[in-house]
Amino acid sequence: MENTIPNLEVKEKPKFKWTAALFIGIALVCLFLLIFIISVVNRYTDTVEDKISDKARLYSMGSNEVVTTYLCEYEGCAEFAAGALKDKDTAAAFSTTLVTLLLNNNEMKSPKDIRYVKDGVLYDNTGAENTDENLRNLTAAAAQKVTGTYGSVIDAAYNMQLLAFYAPIPANEFADAVILFYVEEILDGIQIRDKVTSVETAEFVILCSKSGNGRVILNLYPGMDYEGAVSVAENDGIKDVLSLAVNKESTKNALLDLIEGTKSGAVTFNIDSEKYAISVSHNQTCEDYVVLSLYRAGQLDSAETTAFASIGAMLFVLCLTIPFVFFSILSVKRQHDKQIIREKNYDTKMGCPTLPGMEELIPKRIGSYPGSHFAVVGGRLKHYQYLKSNYPELAESMLKQVRRLLDMNLSIGEAVGLGNESEFVLLLHYRDTASLTTRLYKLSDYVTENIGNNQYNVHLDFGVFEIEKDCKEPPRQMIENAFTVIDSDTANSAITTVSVYNVIFRENYIKNAEVEVKMDYALQHDEFKVFFQPKINSETGAIDGCEALVRWLDAETGQYRAPGTFLPLFEQNGFIIKLDRYIFYKVCEFIGSRVEAHLPIFPTSVNVSRISAINSEFLNYYASVKKQFNVPDDFLTLELTESIATSSYEALNRMSVAFHKNHFLLSIDDYGSGYSSMNLLKNVLVDEIKMDRIFLDRGVSEKRDNVIMASIVTLANDLGIKVVQEGVETEEQLKVVQEAGCKIIQGYYYSKPLSIPEYIKFVNMKMDEEETRARQRTYKNLDDDDLPPETETDVKIV
């Protein structure tokens, strides 16, 4: 029996479906990756092109500045020659001047030749008509009636290349324009390669004129003679040059827009497969000139172009090998981020951390030394801006030396970094405030003694923020606190200051900051109000005048701020100038409205701060506002404090003369609080003195107090100076002042400072009282029928 094997159908083993899914997944990932990389490459390409354009623009700025400035000097020579020929009204004088200018003139650089144009014809300096065909176009250029540079021409008379500069001669019968010719070698004096080394990287550097069809005036650097370089001929037009260099119309139009405009810039493009950049640089002095420079992208930044090429080569590899792509991208990104962080956090030039670097370092160091007390110290070089403005290289050198000297004095765990420009940030161990302050003074002395340049002393100011164990402030705030106390320290006369940030300072700083934030808004929205405090004649009870004062009605709280909380700060930050002008304007506006309404007005004193008084425009403004509102002359008194007065009697006397010339009176406030009160009366033409409140305080002897006060009042009265005692609040004080012979009183005894409505009410009341007293005196024995009729009168100055 034959063994047989059953004829079974052999079925192929099915393939796993996950392989297809994997393939599709890989394809999708590759596609996504390709799209992602293309977008990255495009962004990177834009960045590279931006960098190339920026460098091309910066490279050409130097050559533009040197060349155009140099050519402007020669245009100035042409203008000088035109000015010399302008007034020559005889042929002999005109000819003689031409020869003189050519042979011997110290006011301009000696030209090779001088010629002139009349009615479209070119003449030489002998008056002979010039027949040189090469110079024919010069007459058309000169006919534009503006000073300009024609550029390089070949002169047959000299058989050489010359530069032509022309200038119009207005209103002259012999010539319309003069043309000066200089040998082209004058540019050798520029030594452009020595002065601007970046020119050597250019394919060409050409100087063009916007006028005259945009012709090329000079080919300053023709470039190397190798394949791909673009040749430029003299007197080609700008469009001709661009046609040689640029084959894309949009690029050419972008360049023409730059040329015809006023802003410098650069455009990138390709010649064959290589990238180039053309920069366009304008000159602010010679607006008709523009410099075009052509650069190879590789010459500008070989690293950027190499990276660009590398990315293109990597694209194929990245699409083939997914793991390599991912790891490469992550690696490049990681390295890029590290580089950015390093550049951000560390200044390689100075060799120390930057401000962001110190912000990261401070908490790390504090955490590494949990048993130590730390302080953040801000250090600022005094007068660094002066050195930087006048000696920039010396300033930079000193900054490096100071950083090195500070670093040499640090202990383990301490650090020094850069702040803003002339500032350093130090992280220091400390035991207590006193020892830290002593260390900082010694550190400043050490820097001063060991600095490399002895001609200029270097001193440091320090601000200290002591870091408490429970301090929650971020490092940036710690640093700002340290520098804040330097800014607020008023003891700037010392060689070195060390100021410590503390709770009291913080509270004051917050209060001052709140005032400074609101002050401009308050001024714009009329929150500052004018108050008047009357001055009373104690013998008659009548109003003698008033003083204008400022009060701040805070719209947010509805309450008045005490003047002491904002006026001293305004004097420090300079805002007092705006406030003084505002109050003076409001006072004049009020007086002017009463003048116009024929209502009584009283002489008014207005305070002037020290900062306002030394402002050069202060008196002009006050005089113009007084005139605007028709305030009577010699009606307003400007009050200065005695501290201003005693700073310079000579300056104050000049100010007094100026006050009187503009019909203002001068009052000295707080008289007697200074040390030279008698000198003030002797050397300054004062109209009024306001006795300080110290005269109301009792001294060691009541008799001595009264004698001193009476003698000052008597002396002032003899000199014709009005005396006002301020601050009188009680009957006893009034009696003392009256016994001393002072009649005019200002103080709460008679009236507090009043708002304008309250002041008007007070004036009306006093006027009624005065009128009643006057009628009683005058018509005491008359019947009503005998009284004179009332009549309308003009404004009454009381």
Higher pLDDT, 793 or 741: 741
295 pLDDT higher than 90? no
Nearest 10 degrees: Cα torsion 213, 214, 219, 221: -160
What lies within 8 Å, CB to CB, of 753 at 6+ separation is 531, 532, 533, 549, 551
Proportion of the chain in helix, strand, coil states, percent, rounded to 5: 50, 20, 30
Cα separation values, 69 from 51, 181, 284, 563, 620, Å: 27, 18, 10, 57, 42
Weakest-pLDDT range from 61-70, 297-306, 538-547: 297-306
Weakest-pLDDT range from 175-179, 317-321, 489-493, 699-703: 489-493
User: What pLDDT is attached to residue 543?
Assistant: 93
21 pLDDT higher than 90? no
Distance between start and end Cα atoms, the chain: 156
577 pLDDT higher than 70? yes
Tokens of 185: 């070698």
User: What pLDDT is attached to residue 189?
Assistant: 45
User: What pLDDT is attached to residue 768?
Assistant: 84
Q: What is the pLDDT of residues 769-790, one digit of tens each?
A: 877 776 666 655 555 554 444 4
User: What pLDDT is attached to residue 473?
Assistant: 86
Q: How confident is the model at residue 2 (pLDDT cuts 50, 70, 90)?
A: very low
- Residues 353-363, mean pLDDT to the nearest whole number: 90
Among 494, 323, 333, residue whose Cα is nearest residue 486: 494
Query: Residue 662: what residue type?
Result: N
User: What pLDDT is attached to residue 337?
Assistant: 59
- Residues 587-594, mean pLDDT to the nearest whole number: 95
User: What pLDDT is attached to residue 654?
Assistant: 87
Weakest-pLDDT range from 279-288, 297-306, 705-714: 297-306
13 pLDDT higher than 50? no
User: What pLDDT is attached to residue 271?
Assistant: 72
Cβ-based neighbour number of residue 693 at 10 Å: 17
Rounded to the nearest angstrom, the gap between the alpha carbon of residue 458 and the centroid of all alpha carbons in its chain is 25
- Residues 612-641, mean pLDDT to the nearest whole number: 91
Q: How confident is the model at residue 312 (pLDDT cuts 50, 70, 90)?
A: low
Cβ-based neighbour number of residue 483 at 10 Å: 24
User: What pLDDT is attached to residue 532?
Assistant: 96
Tokens of 558: 């509805």
- Find tokens 């505002």 and name the residue: 582
308 pLDDT higher than 60? no
User: What pLDDT is attached to residue 104?
Assistant: 67
* Angle ∠(663,667,671) on CA atoms, nearest 5: 165
What does residue 60 show for φ and ψ, rounded to 5 degrees? -80, -15
User: What pLDDT is attached to residue 91?
Assistant: 83
281 secondary structure, DSSP code: E
Q: How confident is the model at residue 459 (pLDDT cuts 50, 70, 90)?
A: confident
User: What pLDDT is attached to residue 788?
Assistant: 47
User: What pLDDT is attached to residue 232?
Assistant: 62
What is the rounded distance in angstroms from the CA atom of residue 618 to the CA atom of residue 640? 13
User: What pLDDT is attached to residue 377?
Assistant: 93
Sheet holding 498-500, edge to edge: 415-418, 423-429, 374-381, 460-467, 498-500
Sheet holding 177-183, edge to edge: 121-123, 113-118, 177-183, 160-168, 148-155
179 pLDDT higher than 70? yes
Higher pLDDT, 440 or 138: 440
User: What pLDDT is attached to residue 228?
Assistant: 44
What is the rounded distance in angstroms from the CA atom of residue 64 to the CA atom of residue 289? 9
What is the rounded distance in angstroms from the CA atom of residue 97 to the CA atom of residue 669? 69
753 pLDDT higher than 80? yes
User: What pLDDT is attached to residue 213?
Assistant: 60
Q: How confident is the model at residue 66 (pLDDT cuts 50, 70, 90)?
A: low
What does residue 350 show for φ and ψ, rounded to 5 degrees? -90, -20
- Find tokens 């070119």 and name the residue: 122
For the chain, give the mean pLDDT: 78
Asked if 627 contacts 636 with a C-beta cutoff of 8 angstroms, the reply is no
Asked if 402 contacts 425 with a C-beta cutoff of 8 angstroms, the reply is no
19 pLDDT higher than 80? no
Asked if 460 contacts 382 with a C-beta cutoff of 8 angstroms, the reply is yes
User: What pLDDT is attached to residue 226?
Assistant: 38
Weakest-pLDDT range from 30-39, 98-107, 597-606: 30-39
Higher pLDDT, 487 or 116: 116
Length of the chain in terms of residues written = 798
Tokens of 1: 């029996």
Q: What is the pLDDT of residues 180-216, one digit of tens each?
A: 888 866 655 444 555 555 566 677 777 777 665 666 7
User: What pLDDT is attached to residue 322?
Assistant: 59
Tell me how many helices (H) and strands (E) the chain has. 25, 27
20 pLDDT higher than 60? no
Q: How confident is the model at residue 553 (pLDDT cuts 50, 70, 90)?
A: very high
106 pLDDT higher than 70? no
Q: What is the pLDDT of residues 627-644, one digit of tens each?
A: 999 999 999 999 987 666
- Residues 73-90, mean pLDDT to the nearest whole number: 86
Enumerate the H helices of 11-151 as residue ranges.
Answer: 17-86, 91-103, 136-142
- Residues 38-51, mean pLDDT to the nearest whole number: 64
What is the rounded distance in angstroms from the CA atom of residue 403 to the CA atom of residue 405? 6
Q: How confident is the model at residue 316 (pLDDT cuts 50, 70, 90)?
A: low
**347, burial (CB in 10 Å: exposed 0-12, middle 13-18, buried 19+):** middle
What is the rounded distance in angstroms from the CA atom of residue 118 to the CA atom of residue 98? 14
What is the rounded distance in angstroms from the CA atom of residue 404 to the CA atom of residue 417? 11
Weakest-pLDDT range from 106-115, 285-294, 374-383: 285-294
134 pLDDT higher than 80? no
- Residues 20-46, mean pLDDT to the nearest whole number: 63
What lies within 8 Å, CB to CB, of 488 at 6+ separation is 499, 505, 509
Q: What is the pLDDT of residues 488-540, one digit of tens each?
A: 654 445 577 888 887 556 666 777 788 888 899 999 999 999 999 999 999 98
User: What pLDDT is attached to residue 8?
Assistant: 33
Strand partners for 207: 218, 291
Q: Is the dihedral of CA 758, 763, 764, 770 positive or negative?
A: positive
144 pLDDT higher than 60? yes
Weakest-pLDDT range from 10-19, 412-421, 608-617: 10-19
- Residues 160-187, mean pLDDT to the nearest whole number: 83
User: What pLDDT is attached to residue 649?
Assistant: 76
366 pLDDT higher than 80? yes
The percent of residues in the chain predicted with pLDDT above 90, rounded, is 22
Asked if 220 contacts 67 with a C-beta cutoff of 8 angstroms, the reply is yes
11 pLDDT higher than 50? no
